[in-house]
A and B are shown apart, each in its own frame.
Chain A
Amino acid sequence: MEFSTLALNLDEIEKKFPDNAIEFFKDKKLCLFKACLEKYFPGVRWGIQDLLEELQLKVETCINQSCCSGTFFQRNLITRAQFAAINERNLNEMNQLADIVLFSCNGCYNSLLRGREFLNNHEVRKKTQEILNQLKEKNNTENYPGKYEVLENPNLRLVHDLDFLYLIRNEVLNSLKFDLKNLKVAVHYGCHYLNLSRDKRTAENYLKDKTKLDELITLFGGNPVDYQEKESCCGWGASQLVIHPKEALKVTLKKLKSAEKVNADFILMPCPTCLYTLSKPEYREKMMKWYGEKLDIPTIHLNELIAILRGCEEDRCITLRRKTPRLDEIFEIITQQ
């Protein structure tokens, strides 16, 4: 049996609803996947949640959802079957309450898609089901049938926030109170968005640039700027920043410096892990200490930016913990009447 991808078919929606993709979502129940790092950047969650509520879409979060566990798989601390079992448990829970799950984090999105891919391996699938069977023996399955089964053909679909927001960009634009006032924006897609879903059988899919973030910036009245390290990694590198911080921070430094060189006003990204890496004050201090470079370019998540442009309260869109003079400046420029 083949486990096909659970990624939402964006082309099909665009074909069916060329001008009003939001219609597709109106009768759907949406669920926001809770990325762990949203704890540090709550605006990433509130930014999208507030927007969806304003657009009168049905949205909630799943109380029984755990961390995607991608970080433990990448560090060889759990096996493929255990990783897939954690995935299936989460998918099963979300399948009970939603039709579509939205992801604010490249890592979580990649984990859920990859966990399903692993099930195409017969051995992994068998072991995954064995693990789930143990849970079945111990726990109550009365809540709903099939709670501890590998989901064979769920209706549930997964979509990255960036793809979703791009799909309903006209509605997003109509909900904005402010525009980007021609600010120069360096966009960072993040490896686990940029390098995913490349079908090498068609040259167009394989070679084409991913441009959704750039297009959104233009639509919102900003100016996307090209820079040398646009497609490079943020430096997190599946915990390289923890294991080999000096080398990893060189990668981060190159990225930040490259964006500063083209006079970008800020870096925009669709992932809280990249945001954490590119904005953490301790990392900036270490770059200064180790490489003598002081970098103060602000960094913003797409969901936070939408909250700012919609005129949300400052503390609802940007966490106070990383407020820097430059970030305040950007907030002031955007929100001036």
Chain B
Amino acid sequence: MDEYSDSDWNWDFYEELVDDVDENKNIIQCISCGKCVGDCPASKVSNFNIRKIISKVLRGDKSVLKDSDIWYCYLCERCTRVCPKDNINIPLLIINLRNESFKKGYGPQYNDLRKYVEMSERFLTSGVVVEEPLGEKLSQERIDELNAICNFARIKYVFKASRSNKNKSKKKK
């Protein structure tokens, strides 16, 4: 296991993350036991290693935001279950790191986001993620409410981008 001296620790990044999501403060309790890695489905098929990710955050190493590893988490909460500490919410930390990565432009680019376009479009036009719901459809008034809730969210940008791409390809034709 790597050994660190006092000068290796830098709390700026940690404090930024805690500022954003208060619950992240609990990651300081991490004792690097590695139980989370041993039981993690993502670690079995990729280089995803939550112990290393937490260690990087606590050392203020922002390169973690550029690592593709953070996009391999299954958010299955197995780590939270096996962690001997009580309140370390690893899936929430990963969602927070992905958010920071997105903001800095390191996250998946539009090409990758295209995989989400269909689902986003269905949600904002019908309130479900499949072609049609089983049973009655949601009324337009309710769909408008969902759109208002999602104002300024990334889902709206994905949706708008898909619309403008569709229009462009129509014009080309």
> Are B42 and A89 within 8 A (Cβ)?
no
The stretch among B9-17, B57-65, B114-122 that forms the contact with chain A is B114-122
> Are B131 and A73 within 8 A (Cβ)?
no
Question: Whole-angstrom distance from the CB of A138 to the nearest CB of chain B?
Answer: 7
Q: In chain B, residues 62-105, which have Cβ atoms closer than 8 Å to a Cβ of chain A?
A: 71-78, 80-81, 86, 95, 98-99, 102
B41 within 8 A of A: yes
B129 within 8 A of A: yes
Q: Knowing A36-B129, A138-B148, say if A192 contacts B119 (CB, 8 Å).
A: no
Q: Knowing A36-B129, A79-B153, A134-B148, say if A74 contacts B75 (CB, 8 Å).
A: yes
Chain A positions within 8 Å of B86 at CB level: 200-201
Chain B positions within 8 Å of A73 at CB level: 95
Chain A positions within 8 Å of B72 at CB level: 240, 244, 247
> Are B131 and A135 within 8 A (Cβ)?
no
Chain B positions within 8 Å of A182 at CB level: none
> Are B128 and A67 within 8 A (Cβ)?
yes
Cβ proximity bits B100-138 to A, threshold 8 Å, 1 near / 0 not: 001000011000100110011001000111111111101
A76–B129 Cα distance when bound, in Å, is 16
A188–B154 Cα distance when bound, in Å, is 34
Question: Whole-angstrom distance from the CB of B26 to the nearest CB of chain A?
Answer: 13
Residue of B nearest to A86 (CB): B149
Chain A positions within 8 Å of B132 at CB level: 39
Question: Whole-angstrom distance from the CB of B141 to the nearest CB of chain A?
Answer: 7
Q: Knowing A73-B95, A233-B41, say if A63 contacts B136 (CB, 8 Å).
A: yes
A5 within 8 A of B: no
Chain B positions within 8 Å of A72 at CB level: 119-120, 123, 155
Question: Whole-angstrom distance from the CB of B125 to the nearest CB of chain A?
Answer: 12
> Are B141 and A69 within 8 A (Cβ)?
no
Interface size on A, residues (CB 8 A): 58
Chain A positions within 8 Å of B116 at CB level: 75, 77, 239, 242
B22 within 8 A of A: yes
Chain B positions within 8 Å of A82 at CB level: 149-150, 153
B146 within 8 A of A: yes
Chain B positions within 8 Å of A195 at CB level: 76-78, 80-81
> Are A69 and B77 within 8 A (Cβ)?
no
Chain B positions within 8 Å of A138 at CB level: 148
Q: In chain B, residues 1-58, which have Cβ atoms closer than 8 Å to a Cβ of chain A?
A: 21-23, 41-42, 44-46
Residue of B nearest to A236 (CB): B74
> Are B99 and A76 within 8 A (Cβ)?
yes
Q: Knowing A121-B23, A135-B149, A237-B74, say if A37 contacts B130 (CB, 8 Å).
A: yes
Residue of B nearest to A93 (CB): B142
> Are A39 and B130 within 8 A (Cβ)?
yes
A196 within 8 A of B: yes
Chain B positions within 8 Å of A251 at CB level: 41, 44-45, 74
B133: which of A36, A134, A139, A191 is its contact (CB, 8 Å)?
A36
A-B contact pairs, 23 of them (CB 8 A): A42-B134, A64-B138, A65-B138, A67-B127, A73-B95, A76-B98, A77-B120, A78-B150, A82-B150, A89-B146, A89-B149, A131-B148, A139-B145, A194-B81, A196-B77, A198-B81, A237-B41, A237-B76, A238-B73, A238-B75, A242-B116, A248-B45, A250-B45
